[in-house]
Amino acid sequence: MYGMLLESVQHFVQLEYGEEIWQQVMEKAGCKFAVFNTHHIYPDHLMTSLAAACAELIGGDATMDTFMKFFGRCFVRFFSNFGYDMTIRSTGRYFSDFLENVDNIHMQMRFTYPKMKSPSMYITHVDPQGVVLVYRSNRQGFTHYFMGQLYQIAEELYNTKLAIKVLEEANTIPGAKKVLVKFRLDFDNRDFVFSRSEKRTSLERLSLPAVPCSVLMTLFPFGIVFGEDMRILAAGEKLLQICGTCPEALLGQIITDYFKLRRPRGIPFTWKKLLS
């Protein structure tokens, strides 16, 4: 993980518990780093080790999971100093807008943090009382950290009261490090549902002339068009150049023979899934 995550932990543990406690936590966790560099890569286990050390040294009712949530909140509070809160706000007016665009945010962040191993997530259900969110990660032990991030983003950036329930948590492959968690997020989602309904109604009423596929491919040179049978109908000029092939070689072929769905991870590349 990048050092900025650990910088946020150091900053807020020192702020809320003091320098002496932080030094004890570092020693207990076996951390040999006096400071953390924003763009340096550190072992993933360091975060959970710090949380376990905090739980043991600070005591009270706080568990390791409690501190992982706290660390998640710390990161959101910390990255606002770098202006990343504006990136989140730009996804839309509502908390659900953000949830639908988390993967896109991570893709943008890769330009600054190219070695970032970000989780993937997608919404499977939306209703006026909240959403069901599926979270996939290559890191184990970060479920509560992610929950802390969601709590802080909802409260700080969207002024939204959030309740989270874990519906399902499992390794996608026995013995592997990949983790899948299904969350039920309860919050006031009425405005988002209403706005989506309004947009859908407006589109249904809208009558526009047909646009030739060639025009679309000119506008979107990296685009691709395929039908319900998953066969390629058209492809943009630049995409064909990257593939190093001519249109005749690609048209009519099954799209899954040439392309795969990268985001969200774990979703079958089928027509039905794309429309759901």
Q: How far is Cα 45 from Cα 64, in angstroms, rounded to an integer? A: 13
Q: Let me know: does 223 contact 239? Beta carbons within 8 Å.
A: yes
102: helix, strand or coil: helix
**pTM, full prediction:** 0.78
Q: What is the pLDDT of residue 203?
A: 67
Query: CB-based burial of residue 88 (10 Å sphere; 0-12 exposed, 13-18 middle, 19+ buried)?
Result: buried
Q: What is the pLDDT of residue 196?
A: 84
- Low-confidence stretches of the chain (pLDDT < 70) are 172-177, 202-204, 276
DSSP state at residue 140: S
Q: Report cis status (omega within 30 of 0) of the bond before 43.
A: no
Domains in the chain (CATH in brackets) are: 3-82 (3.90.1520.10), 88-100+111-195 (3.90.1520.10), 210-275 (3.30.450.260)
Q: What is the pLDDT of residue 133?
A: 94
**What span, in angstroms and rounded, lies between the C-alpha atoms of 160 and 73?**
15
Q: What is the 3-state secondary structure (H, E, C) of 109-121?
A: HCCCCCCCCCCEE
Distance of alpha carbon 30 from the chain centroid: 30
Rounded to whole angstroms, the Cα distance separating 89 from 111 reads: 19
Cα–Cα–Cα angle for 161, 109, 86, nearest 5°? Answer: 45
Query: What is the reported pLDDT for 204?
Result: 67
Q: How far apart are CA 167 and CA 195, in angstroms?
A: 27
Phi, psi (5° rounding) for residue 184? Answer: -105, 115
Whether the CB-CB separation of 135 and 59 falls below 8 Å is answered with no
Residue type, 184: R
CA distance 29 to 138: 22
**What is the pLDDT at residue 170?**
81
Q: Which of 166, 164, 170 is nearest to 148 (CA)?
A: 164
Q: Which of 261, 257, 217 is nearest to 239 (CA)?
A: 217
Query: Which of 126, 140, 148 lies closest to 172, judged by CA?
Result: 140
pLDDT for position 210: 83
* Residue that the structure tokens 């109604």 belong to: 201
Single out the residue of 192, 8, 17, 211 nearest to residue 98, CA to CA: 192
Alpha-carbon distance of 205 to 148, in angstroms, equals 42
Q: pLDDT tens digits, residue range 165-223?
A: 999 988 755 555 678 899 999 999 999 999 888 777 766 677 778 888 889 889 999 99
Amino acid at 13: V
